[in-house]
Amino acid sequence: MKNTRRDIFKFAGGAAAGALLTPVPWRLIKDSSLWSENWPGIPRPARGEIRSKTTNCALCPAGCPLRARCVGDQPVALTGAGCAFGVAAHHLPYHPARLRQGPVEQAKAALAKRTPSEPIAVLDLNPGRTASWTFRRAMAALDGTYISPDPNPIAYDLHSVRTVLSVGAPLLEGWGTPANVLAAREKFYLVHAGAVETPTAMLADEWIRAEGLPDPLPRRLLENGPSLAVGDAPGVAELNRKLGAPVYARPEAPVPDAWKKQAAPVTALDAVPARGLRFLLIDESSAVTYIPWHLIEPKLASDAVVITFAVSRGGYARHATYALPAPVFPEITEDIPAAIDQTTQVFRLAAPLVPPPPAVVNASELVAALADIPAAAALRERADFIHMQSPAHPTPDAFWQALVDGYIWRGSPSLPAQSSPTQPRPAHDLPLTAVPAPWTPALLSPLMTKLYEESNLRLPPNAVALNPRDAAALPSRAVLQTLHGKCTVRVVPDASVPPGIVLAGSSPGIRDICTHGDGAKVVLA
């Protein structure tokens, strides 16, 4: 039999048709789909032994207890945080904007050239820590100044009141310890005064849509006592005094007596003489507040050296002579000061979950080295002192190990506060009133973009929200202008913002020029 070309084609066609009846094509489809799922462009999660570690969150003074789920030693999930920032805090060491290297040797050389007569200061943006006491001891030894954003911090007892007036305070949005505020919230009547429709305003029992202290005061506040007013607005401290509100000095865990004897006093930035600082060291590595640069800059001498310990280039690194990379949570062991709603002493540690990059600098150790103070074991020294005062554990080692594992030591309640008067605001003729968004940490997990890029739950950091009437003539990008400077911003029209108000995002550029109640205008770029 002679095979023709037609036979070959018939055989090939028959084979192809017959192959459809075999598992081969289906296997190919399955394998190619599996391959496409696992092709090299898609990251593969690490495998390993699943472990669990406990610690406390150090992103803010709330210090929520955390349980970290780890693959080997690598944390892959955190539970226990009371906010969106804490849920993804284990991403912070890998943030693209993370500062990993800096001119450490040059900064040390500049500090080494300082003469004893040249004024030096430390600005501590998270006071109340053991590191803060190291700064104070070092400044005392160097005849320098220790500057705190709030020299007399206060604490509120939300559990002993029946009515709370929130004057622009983000009471239900990370103002205090989430679990504590939400537990107390069940028991008090909440009146919120503020122009912008914030979550606190939406969830309050009564919302007064006006900025500042309401006039007249809500009847509930006076008739349904005990009552309390919270917020930074002028008149709040005086109102609390009249109401006899439960306002206390912010409690601080016990400190060794030797430290107290050798510590520089806490100074407010306002008390620093103008152009009086030759060297300024700023610890913003775990900042819980932000002081606008326009308030710091007048205190610096013309040839001042500013050294900042930062986790990103976004904050004071933009203005500093040297920006040194600092560890970020959860890379080092540090203690967490008391929050605004905690009225008893607490001592708790944030234990490291991952090692820091090799080039980062611990601010307290560098400052302590300037004054020849041993600081590496300061935390342990304080823990031993606390254990000696109230031995809840059999040995200091057991107490320390418990702290590292997330144990929270609680001490005695604090004393009534000495409130300080609020500063009047400068007059202006700008048409809008600025209302900044609540404070956020300097570094946020990249997953926070879910909240402000892929939904409108939060205002993007570099944006301002305006009433559609105020935003009508503006393009999507414009310039925010206040008495303190200008900043290019994204404009978001939002009908929930009343006319005459500009709700400002939390980017460092905006925070530098804009505080609550400032006059502002938004103009074409």
Partner 1 sequence: MTRYGMTIDVDRCTGCGACMVACAVENNIPPAHEGATDRTGLTWIRVFKVGQAFVPMLCQQCGEETPCVGVCPQKAVEVDPATGIVGQMPERCLGCRYCMAACPYHARYFNWHDPAWPPGMEKTLNPDVAPRMRGVVEKCNFCHGRWHAAKQQAVAEGRDPAHVEYTPACVEACPTKAIRFGDLATLPKPPGSVRLLESLGTEPKIYYRSSKVDLRAGKEPSRG
The residue ranges that bind partner 1 (CB under 8 A) are: 30, 33-34, 36-39, 41-48, 50, 71, 74-79, 81-84, 87-88, 90-91, 93-96, 172-174, 178-179, 182, 197, 199, 202-203, 445-451, 453-458, 496
54 in Cβ contact with 406 (< 8 Å): yes
CB atoms within 10 A of CB 85: 19
Write down the least CB distance from residue 524 to partner 1, Å: 23
Task: Select 132 or 177, whichever has its Cβ closest to partner 1.
Answer: 177
Write down the least CB distance from residue 112 to partner 1, Å: 34
Task: Select 83 or 402, whichever has its Cβ closest to partner 1.
Answer: 83
β-sheet with 65-71: strand ranges across: 50-56, 65-71, 74-79
| SS3 per residue for 284-328 | CCCCCCCCCHHHHHHHEEEEEEEEEEECECCCHHHCCCEEEECCC
Write down the least CB distance from residue 87 to partner 1, Å: 5
Write down the least CB distance from residue 496 to partner 1, Å: 8
Write down the least CB distance from residue 93 to partner 1, Å: 7
Task: Select 252 or 331, whichever has its Cβ closest to partner 1.
Answer: 331
Task: Select 277 or 435, whichever has its Cβ closest to partner 1.
Answer: 435
Write down the least CB distance from residue 56 to partner 1, Å: 16
Which residues lie closer than 8 Å to 298 by C-beta, 6 or more apart? 274, 275
Task: Select 148 or 445, whichever has its Cβ closest to partner 1.
Answer: 445
Ordered alpha helix ranges (H), 375-501: 378-389, 396-404, 449-452, 468-471
Write down the least CB distance from residue 206 to partner 1, Å: 13
467 in Cβ contact with 493 (< 8 Å): yes
103 by Cβ neighbours in 10 Å (0-12 / 13-18 / 19+) ranks as middle
- Tell me phi and psi for residue 440, to 5 degrees: -130, 155
As a whole number of angstroms, the distance between CA 47 and CA 110 comes to 46
Write down the least CB distance from residue 460 to partner 1, Å: 11
**Locate tokens 């028959």: which residue?**
14
- Tell me phi and psi for residue 187, to 5 degrees: -105, -15
Write down the least CB distance from residue 161 to partner 1, Å: 20
Q: Which two tokens stand for residue 379?
A: 């935390």
For residue 401, CA distances in Å to 44, 69, 128, 210 come to 35, 19, 22, 50
Task: Select 356 or 519, whichever has its Cβ closest to partner 1.
Answer: 356
Give residue 419's Cα distance to chain centre: 24
Write down the least CB distance from residue 429 to partner 1, Å: 34
Burial letters 199-224, b for 16+ CB under 10 A, else e: ebbeebeebbeebbbbeebbebbeee
Write down the least CB distance from residue 198 to partner 1, Å: 9
DSSP annotation of 342 reads -
Q: Which two tokens stand for residue 504?
A: 């400002």
As a whole number of angstroms, the distance between CA 344 and CA 410 comes to 7
Task: Select 205 or 270, whichever has its Cβ closest to partner 1.
Answer: 205
Write down the least CB distance from residue 25 to partner 1, Å: 15
Burial letters 44-70, b for 16+ CB under 10 A, else e: eeeeeeeeebebbbbbbbbbbbbebeb
As a whole number of angstroms, the distance between CA 362 and CA 356 comes to 10
- Tell me phi and psi for residue 367, to 5 degrees: -65, -40
Write down the least CB distance from residue 477 to partner 1, Å: 15
**Locate tokens 């600025």: which residue?**
434
Task: Select 311 or 417, whichever has its Cβ closest to partner 1.
Answer: 311
Task: Select 68 or 264, whichever has its Cβ closest to partner 1.
Answer: 68
503 in Cβ contact with 438 (< 8 Å): no
* Closest C-alpha among 68, 248, 81, 290 to residue 174: 81
